[in-house]
Structure 1
Amino acid sequence: MTMKLSFSIYPLIILLVLTVLPLSCNSQDKNKAVQVTIEKEKPKGEQIGEYVVETFQDSKGYIWFGTLEKGIAKYDGNTLKYLTTNDGLPSNRVTTVVEDDLGNLWFGTGAGISKFDGKTFTNYSEKDGLCNNLVSNLFIDSKGIFWIGTWGGVCKFDGTQFEKFQIPYPKIETTINPDTKDWITTISEDKNRNIWFGRDGYGASKFNGNSFIHFTTKEGLNSNNVQSIVEDKTGNIWIATRVAEKDNADANKRFGKGGLNKYDGQKFNYFPEIEGLNESDVFTIYKDNSSDLWISTTSHGVYNYTNNGFVNYKVPTSTMTFLEDTKGNIWLGCAGGLYKIKQNGETINITTNGPWK
């Protein structure tokens, strides 16, 4: 599928070809954030992928790494094995993974979705009714509804048929990038079973099963370009956004609001005192097994929000995905490869040669 780049290539770059950014060594304000800076020399071996955009642990304990160019890699605790188009995947671009209640894995790819039963792949694309082949996220909610987010909107899937799910377009005041106006960047569910959709240009939309509530800059978001939505353990909704102005064709005008938002049900709160979380891009928010949050930045590593404070880890590249495994290790899928934060705070680069332990 050919994608237009007539308006701006920036939104495509952030997902398809993220630039590896060097990090500043400036220390954080100790009253605002604790900084952890430990990194070992990179081990020999090839990177798991140039862009690792998904990390997932299945019910058997296997860890999966989705890449934009090498298919998906499976680590079973002893060996690393890649599955690609040669094995039956429809595309070597794998951006999202979910597991259903039968133990099947579903992969969102650049050419549709694929069900993997451990041996064979069953592939679905636009010709089967999928709303768009370029899949951005998969989500199975608490009712068992299978949601598929794409660069062409949302659809639901019952295992046989696809149903287009239309999200209304709220009235906004910012310029829309026509290349990404239907890009569904994230799908999540809160404790009240509301489904949240993030869109690149139309903010966040909450669906209660009957109607929508939209959150845009008019309601207090610092940007309508939403990348991630997560509910914390106390019911606050955290929303990651990017700087919409970076779509501007004029390089001198690519500055504006973006970053991290916290919605408490009445108002939005921001974090201008934390480097990288305001007037910048935040792509990913992840809730770990302890319900603490992990937050990515483009040039200030990652933050762990725990005990009402931010702990900063200096990861030397942009992070796109997090995973806490059953052993308590934090895996970071990044532009530039795979990293892991061990329980002692050590940050290490994981290549095809490890170190895995």
Structure 2
Amino acid sequence: MLTEGWDCRTVTHIIGIRPFMSQLLCEQVVGRALRRRDYQLNDENQFSEEVAKIFGVPFEVTPFKANPTGKPKPNPPRNRIYSVAKKSQYRIEFPRVDGYSQGVQNKVTVDWQAIAKITIDPSNVAPEVQMKANLANNQGRPTLNGPGKLEKASLDSWRSQSRFQTLCFQLAKDLTRDYCGMESCEAPPHVLFPQLVRIVEQYLTTQVKVIKPAELIDVFLSPYYGMAIDNLLTSIHPDTDAGEAPEIPRLEAHRGNGSTDEVDFWTSKGVYPIEKSHLNAAVADTQQWEQPPLITLTITLLRRHSLKMNGLTSAFPISSTIKNRIMSPTLSSA
């Protein structure tokens, strides 16, 4: 039960068959009864009390609450909300929005004030090293003072054979491939590549600090090459001055569109019959504006198909200047 990730919301009794040797194990066993079965608020805007009975678990600090005298308060009646097959003409289909991303159609730009810079440090990638046969000294450590020829390896040959412009094109090509692989990108590669070439050249000449004896061309070596691509990928965004859409919805990849066919749940809140809806009834989450007169008036005047998002297990993420939020709106279709 504890090692296999047992997960359940309907625990009403826990019975200890054999003794537990530690209080920690007792806590873990008792904790299986802490998950609530029902998260709906009552009339006092609080969760209703739920109790699990525990036998044979010697948990010393388990809080004890005496049973109240008198008859227990009955549970509120529960109603089933479901889609009605005979009312399929009011069926509503909607996309499952997983989030939002900046849409890229044609023009891109970079926030040069916020992009991360790169420092080429010769202590990380040495421009020149000395090599020798791996002979150990008396202490068992490799040394250059033993017998054998001492050889030098440097970046001079690679630097002399490489052209900065050619390597910029290679970096822009890899950047275009990665950027076009993002879901938010709708621009074809041949439209993005010329823009990214100019962005790469400006980034390497203005945002890269070189510590001698290193050279600027060393930025095309690992790990600087990958750092440059990562920094540019996170900083490139649509050019809104050119009329690009700043955000587009990102749909779920593994599920198709949702619909009111999936609605089937139980609720203890007040429910009211509704005609112009695929569902058998509507749930009133508020104390006033969702009650029958307003529901009837709204649907009669608009002549639309309407339903709330109860039981659809779907919501739309929204963003604000404070924090990200999830919104469950009422759906309607003409």
Higher RCO (CA-CA < 8 Å; seq separation 6+):
2
Q: In proportion to residue count, which structure has more strand?
A: 1
Task: Please identify the structure whose Cα radius of gyration is greater.
Answer: 2
Q: In proportion to residue count, which structure has more helix?
A: 2
Give me the TM-score of the superposition, normalised by structure 1. Answer: 0.17
